[in-house]
Amino acid sequence: MKQTRPIMGMPITIEVADALVRESDIEKIFAFFRTIDERFSPFKATSEVSRLNSGLIREEDCSADLKAILAMSEETRRLTDGYFDIRTHDGRRNPSGLVKGLAIQNAARLLDEAGFRNFFVEAGGDIQVRGENTEGPWQVGIRNPFTEGEIVKVVALKDQGIATSGTYIRGQHIYNPFAHGEPITDIVSLTVIGPNVFDADRFATAAFAMGRKGIDFIERLEGFEGYMIDRDGNATMTTHFDSFTHQPCVLSMPS
């Protein structure tokens, strides 16, 4: 069973390949995403993040969940040498680059706890898979950032997460924090495969902010593989990325 709903400003798709799945099982996952959006979106005035940014609450007064997100954000900033930073130039916090991957991972955990063993959870192109579908491993396509509708790579995944950061759909929205907020112009797409979508997503965002050297950052991460496309259309991949490739599918789009 496969369902798609617009939540968090993006299409969210849940597909469960297990025979006993009911529509109500999938609706529970969509309800979870709606709750996350209401609580942590910096674009909703009533969210906890917005109230923190506007000074209505202090960081020490935040919920345990938001404190955990802020702590994970700080941990990610350290792990990426500062290239992942949820603080904007005006000092406000935008944890969207962390919350989406975390929400997908936790949605997958809810499906796992419900007893499902073969499923796919996707939000805005970032994906967590478990098990297989009726045709074997889940196939995910990486889009050509220069030609709409064209797939340049297809990877086969079973229990991994995949995330793509790029500028060709949402425009310039990821910046190098060490270059006075200058946009990234030397690469257009960077896809990361990891053991889970939370880590794939946060490291894809940081690696994209690094520009061309981001693929080297992914190369050094144990258990991760990456595929980068530069502004000239040249692709660079990590050493073992091709171990996931599959012949022509679900699209991994930039977040």
* 239 phi and psi angles, rounded to 5 deg: -55, -45
pLDDT at residue 109, as a whole number:
98
Q: Which of 199, 204, 200, 201 is nearest to 214 (CA)?
A: 204
CATH number at residue 233: 3.10.520.10
Mean pLDDT, range 57-63, rounded to an integer: 94
Q: Determine contact, residues 219/239, Cβ cutoff 8 Å.
A: yes
Distance between CA atoms of residues 255 and 253, nearest Å: 6
Digit-coded pLDDT (tens) for 8-55: 999 999 999 999 999 999 999 999 999 999 999 999 999 999 999 999
pTM of this prediction? 0.90
Domain that holds residue 205: 2-252
Q: Characterize 66-100 residue by residue with b for buried, 16 or more Cβ atoms within 10 angstroms of its Cβ, and e for exposed.
A: beebbebbeebbebbeebbbbeeeeeebbbbbbbb
What is the number of domains present in the chain?
Answer: 1
Over the chain, what is the mean pLDDT?
A: 91
High-pLDDT (> 90) share of the chain, %: 82
pLDDT in tens, 107-134: 999 999 999 999 999 999 999 999 999 9
pLDDT recorded at residue 93 = 94
